[in-house]
Structure 1
């Protein structure tokens, strides 16, 4: 089924930071009867649409101005802002803007014979200007070394990347063709890890034994010291007792 209204551009409206902040949306009636249209935006705080409503007779067209407000900052490559163009067959008593606004307020959100088109807003990224062929030739004549050097660097980097890719492909190919070699490598790695873990366990056990031996020697030395001090203390006590309590003499 042919469309009721032709929208141009039909997909994207393009805005630029350095260019005009206004885009034109071209609408054309492609049926044999009058139609009415309405334009809605997902960001009414950013854009002004003139006119938002209208009636198009058979074969008639209109340019709708989509103006971006001056206090709005553009975001490059951001397509969140959209416009919805709705079109329906116009009733015979639809004359002025007030009648059209009242008519669209009474229309349900999804009527049976409504045609809708969605257009996104795109903010173009500024690109560096491309030099003409004559400028490139003159630059090569003036500074041939500076012009050729970037190309040589790019070629060298490309060669290195290709060599690395070839080596990786060779390894993958050998692995796929000889899975036995891959299994042997994994077994060898497992054995090496087991040997390292066993060696670490032996070292830990030897360290614990050495610490226990040292601790026992320290305990024995401590007990001997305590015994010696006890003996010395007792000898000192006995000596003091002899001095304070002299032996009795017996006379006959």
Structure 2
């Protein structure tokens, strides 16, 4: 696939912060001349909530997608958590849930005609400092046996 279908912003690692309820947003623009079918999927089941999960964008149409880190979930320390936005030219112009789900089952993400955008994540610096402080406070202090 040579021509890009979607322009996705921001490009860098997405940041989750407690102030935004662990939610971050991405902007998805159809920069092609044909309708594009897109879908968000995660490499880790149950860690993220994504809205909208999939849809069809007409030429020059734009949408906002929100990605939320579920309550109680933590990002992996080695930055292995990813969300993929996969897209390809739409076989139809309207959204039909049964047809779309069947379409994605037949057209898996290893297909060379599927355009992929990958997102990595990081926790905000303030949240990380607070988490480190909580972990330090929770550690028992070593007893002193000599004086």
CA-CA distance at 1:17 after TM superposition: 3.8
Alignment correspondent of 2:61: 60
1:44 aligns with 2:29: no
CA-CA distance at 1:65 after TM superposition: 1.3
Which of structures 1 and 2 has the bigger CA Rg? 1
Higher helix share goes to which structure?
1
- Indicate if the aligned counterparts of 1:15 and 1:21 stay in contact, CA closer than 8 A: yes
SS at match of 2:125: coil
SS at match of 1:84: strand
- Indicate if the aligned counterparts of 1:53 and 1:97 stay in contact, CA closer than 8 A: no
SS at match of 1:64: strand
Listed as ranges, the gaps of 5+ residues in structure 2 are 130-147
CA-CA distance at 1:2 after TM superposition: 4.2
> Cα 1:16–1:57, aligned 2, differ >3 Å: closer, same or farther?
same
CA-CA distance at 1:97 after TM superposition: 2.4
Alignment correspondent of 1:95: 95
- Between the aligned partners of 1:74 and 1:112, the Cα distance in structure 2 is 30
> Cα 1:102–1:94, aligned 2, differ >3 Å: closer, same or farther?
farther
- Indicate if the aligned counterparts of 1:78 and 1:123 stay in contact, CA closer than 8 A: no
- Indicate if the aligned counterparts of 2:75 and 2:122 stay in contact, CA closer than 8 A: no
- Indicate if the aligned counterparts of 2:75 and 2:121 stay in contact, CA closer than 8 A: no
Listed as ranges, the gaps of 5+ residues in structure 1 are 129-252
Alignment correspondent of 1:106: 106
- Between the aligned partners of 1:107 and 1:9, the Cα distance in structure 2 is 26
- When normalised by structure 2's length, the TM-score is 0.75
> Cα 1:73–1:91, aligned 2, differ >3 Å: closer, same or farther?
closer
Alignment correspondent of 1:22: 23
1:1-252 alignment, distance < 5 Å = 1-73=2-74, 78-92=78-92, 95-126=95-126
SS at match of 2:21: coil
- Indicate if the aligned counterparts of 2:75 and 2:81 stay in contact, CA closer than 8 A: no
Which of 1 and 2 has higher RCO (CA within 8 Å, sep 6+)? 2
- Count of matched residue pairs: 127
CA-CA distance at 1:112 after TM superposition: 3.3
- Indicate if the aligned counterparts of 1:78 and 1:122 stay in contact, CA closer than 8 A: no
> Cα 1:19–1:108, aligned 2, differ >3 Å: closer, same or farther?
closer
